[in-house]
Structure 1
Amino acid sequence: MALWRRLRALPTWILPVALGAVLLMLPVLGLDFSASRQIQLACILALLVSGLNLSLGYAGELALGQAAMYAAGAYTAGMLSAAGHTDIAVQLAASGLVVLAVGLLTGVAGLRLGSWSLAMTSFFLVLLVPDVLAVFAGRTGGRNGLSGILGPTLFGRPLDPTGFYLVIGVVLVAWFAVMRNIVVSRHGVALRVLKQSPVLASSMGISAFRMKLLAYALGAIPAGLAGALFANLDLYVSPEAFGFTLATTVLAASILGGTTSVYGALAGAAVMQFGPSQSSRFQEFALVFTGVFLIVGGVLVRGGLADLARKAVTRLDRAAGLTPQPASGTEGTADIPPIKGATLAVEDVSKAFGGNRALDGVNFRAAPGRVTALIGPNGSGKTTLLNMVCGFYRTDSGRILLDGERLEGATPHRVARAGVARTFQTPSIPDGVTVLEAVAAGRYSTDRASVLSAVLRLPGFRRVRRADREEAERMLALVGMGHLRGERASALPLGMRRLLEVARSLIAAPGVLLLDEAASGLDEDEVDRLAELIRRIRAAGGTVVLVEHNFRLVLDLADDIVVLAHGQVIAQGPPAEIETNPRVLGEYLGAAQEVA
Structure 2
Amino acid sequence: MTARVRVPLLAVLGVLLLAGPFLGMSGYLARTVMLVGILSLLTSGLNIVLGYAGELAVNQVFLYAVGAYVAAYLGSAHGVTDVLAVLAVVIVAAVVIGLVTGIPGLRLGGWSLAMVAFFMVLILPSVVQVLEKYTGGPLGLSTPVPTIFGQELGERGIYVLIVAAVVVWFVIARNLIKSAHGNAFLVLRQSPILAESLGISVFRLKLVVYVIAAVPCAIGGALFAWLDGFIAPDTFTFAMALSVLAASMFGGATSIYGALVGALLLQVGQQQLTAFSELELVIYGVFLLAAALVFRNGLTGLFRTLVAQARRRGWLPAAPSAATSAVRTAAPARSGGLEPIEGRTLSCRGIGKRFGGNQALDDVSIEAVPGRITALIGPNGSGKTTLLNLMCGFYTPTAGSIALGETVISGLKPFKVARAGVARTFQTPMVARGMTTRDFVAAGRYTERKVSMAASVLRLPSYRRGKRADEADALALLELVGIGQVAETEVSELPLGTRRLAEVARALAARPRLFLFDEVASGLDPADLENLERAIIAIRDAGGTVVLVEHNFPLVLKVSDTIHVLSRGELIASGTPDEIQRNTRVLEEYTGSATAVTDLELAATDSEGGH
Category of TM-score, reference length = shorter chain: over 0.9
| Equivalent residue number for residue 380 of structure 1 | 382
Unaligned runs of 5+ in 2: 603-611
Moved more, 120-129 or 55-64: 120-129
Moved more, 529-538 or 88-97: 88-97
Q: CA deviation at 1:276?
A: 2.4
Moved more, 43-52 or 25-34: 25-34
Query: Which amino acid is the alignment partner of residue 50 of structure 1?
Result: S
Q: CA deviation at 1:556?
A: 0.7
| Equivalent residue number for residue 4 of structure 1 | none
Moved more, 28-37 or 434-443: 28-37
Compared CA separation, residues 8 and 234, structure 1 to 2 (3 A): closer
| Equivalent residue number for residue 418 of structure 1 | 420
Mapped contact 2:482–2:528 kept (Cα < 8 A) = no
Distance in 2, matches of 1:373 and 1:529, equals 18
Distance in 1, matches of 2:111 and 2:403, equals 35
Mapped contact 1:257–1:297 kept (Cα < 8 A) = no
Query: Which amino acid is the alignment partner of residue 438 of structure 2?
Result: L
Correspondence for 1:571 among 570, 573, 578: 573
Mapped contact 1:107–1:118 kept (Cα < 8 A) = no
Correspondence for 2:280 among 286, 305, 316: 286
Alignment of 1:114-193 (within 5 A): 116-147=111-142, 149-193=143-187
| Equivalent residue number for residue 546 of structure 1 | 548
Residue 357 (structure 1) aligned with residue 352 (structure 2): no
Q: CA deviation at 1:115?
A: 5.9
| Equivalent residue number for residue 324 of structure 2 | 325
Alignment of 1:19-418 (within 5 A): 19-82=13-76, 83-113=78-108, 116-147=111-142, 149-317=143-311, 318-323=314-319, 324-326=323-325, 328=328, 331-333=332-334, 335-418=337-420
| Equivalent residue number for residue 606 of structure 2 | none
Compared CA separation, residues 412 and 308, structure 1 to 2 (3 A): same
Distance in 1, matches of 2:537 and 2:318, equals 40
Q: List per-residue Cα deviations over 1:303-324 (Å, max 9, x = no partner).
A: 0011012123324444133251
Distance in 2, matches of 1:483 and 1:98, equals 48
Q: List per-residue Cα deviations over 1:487-541 (Å, max 9, x = no partner).
A: 1111111110000000000111110000001100001111111111111111110
Distance in 2, matches of 1:254 and 1:321, equals 30
Distance in 1, matches of 2:582 and 2:544, equals 28
What is the DSSP-based 3-state SS (H/G/I as helix, E as strand, rest coil) of the residue aligned with 1:421?
strand
Q: CA deviation at 1:20?
A: 1.4
Q: CA deviation at 1:14?
A: 1.4
Mapped contact 2:351–2:401 kept (Cα < 8 A) = yes
What is the DSSP-based 3-state SS (H/G/I as helix, E as strand, rest coil) of the residue aligned with 1:428?
coil
Moved more, 261-270 or 31-40: 31-40
Distance in 2, matches of 1:216 and 1:320, equals 39
Query: Which amino acid is the alignment partner of residue 218 of structure 1?
Result: I
Distance in 1, matches of 2:396 and 2:275, equals 58
Compared CA separation, residues 506 and 589, structure 1 to 2 (3 A): farther
Compared CA separation, residues 248 and 114, structure 1 to 2 (3 A): closer
Correspondence for 1:433 among 431, 435, 440: 435
Compared CA separation, residues 456 and 30, structure 1 to 2 (3 A): same
Q: CA deviation at 1:151?
A: 1.0
Correspondence for 1:493 among 492, 495, 519: 495
Q: CA deviation at 1:119?
A: 2.6
Q: CA deviation at 1:425?
A: 0.7
What is the DSSP-based 3-state SS (H/G/I as helix, E as strand, rest coil) of the residue aligned with 1:515?
strand
Distance in 1, matches of 2:179 and 2:298, equals 23
Compared CA separation, residues 12 and 480, structure 1 to 2 (3 A): farther
What is the DSSP-based 3-state SS (H/G/I as helix, E as strand, rest coil) of the residue aligned with 1:487?
coil
Distance in 1, matches of 2:466 and 2:91, equals 29
Mapped contact 1:440–1:471 kept (Cα < 8 A) = yes
Q: CA deviation at 1:444?
A: 0.5
Q: List per-residue Cα deviations over 1:339-365 (Å, max 9, x = no partner).
A: 000111111111111111111111100
- TM-score scaled by length of structure 1: 0.96
What is the DSSP-based 3-state SS (H/G/I as helix, E as strand, rest coil) of the residue aligned with 2:473?
helix
| Equivalent residue number for residue 559 of structure 1 | 561
Q: List per-residue Cα deviations over 1:157-183 (Å, max 9, x = no partner).
A: 111111111110000000000000011
Mapped contact 1:106–1:121 kept (Cα < 8 A) = no
Query: Which amino acid is the alignment partner of residue 317 of structure 2?
Result: G
Q: List per-residue Cα deviations over 1:228-269 (Å, max 9, x = no partner).
A: 000001111111111211111111110111000000000111
Correspondence for 2:444 among 442, 445, 454: 442
Moved more, 264-273 or 481-490: 481-490
Mapped contact 2:332–2:531 kept (Cα < 8 A) = no
Query: Which amino acid is the alignment partner of residue 537 of structure 1?
Result: I
Distance in 2, matches of 1:40 and 1:18, equals 18
Mapped contact 1:152–1:159 kept (Cα < 8 A) = yes
Distance in 2, matches of 1:412 and 1:112, equals 17
Query: Which amino acid is the alignment partner of residue 543 of structure 1?
Result: T
What is the DSSP-based 3-state SS (H/G/I as helix, E as strand, rest coil) of the residue aligned with 1:281?
helix
Mapped contact 1:49–1:251 kept (Cα < 8 A) = yes
Compared CA separation, residues 469 and 48, structure 1 to 2 (3 A): same
| Equivalent residue number for residue 463 of structure 2 | 461
Distance in 2, matches of 1:498 and 1:244, equals 45
Q: CA deviation at 1:19?
A: 2.1
Unaligned runs of 5+ in 1: 1-6
Distance in 2, matches of 1:132 and 1:352, equals 48
Q: CA deviation at 1:25?
A: 2.3
Distance in 1, matches of 2:175 and 2:255, equals 13
| Equivalent residue number for residue 18 of structure 1 | 12
Query: Which amino acid is the alignment partner of residue 237 of structure 2?
Result: G
Distance in 1, matches of 2:209 and 2:480, equals 34
Compared CA separation, residues 470 and 325, structure 1 to 2 (3 A): closer
Distance in 2, matches of 1:408 and 1:117, equals 32
Q: List per-residue Cα deviations over 1:391-419 (Å, max 9, x = no partner).
A: 11111111011102111111111100000
Distance in 1, matches of 2:552 and 2:170, equals 50
Distance in 1, matches of 2:221 and 2:533, equals 58
Distance in 1, matches of 2:115 and 2:566, equals 44
Mapped contact 1:372–1:545 kept (Cα < 8 A) = yes
Distance in 2, matches of 1:128 and 1:8, equals 44
Mapped contact 1:99–1:221 kept (Cα < 8 A) = yes
Distance in 1, matches of 2:481 and 2:112, equals 41
Mapped contact 1:192–1:430 kept (Cα < 8 A) = yes
Structure 1: 4+ residue segments shifted above 3 A? 7-12, 112-118, 315-318, 327-331
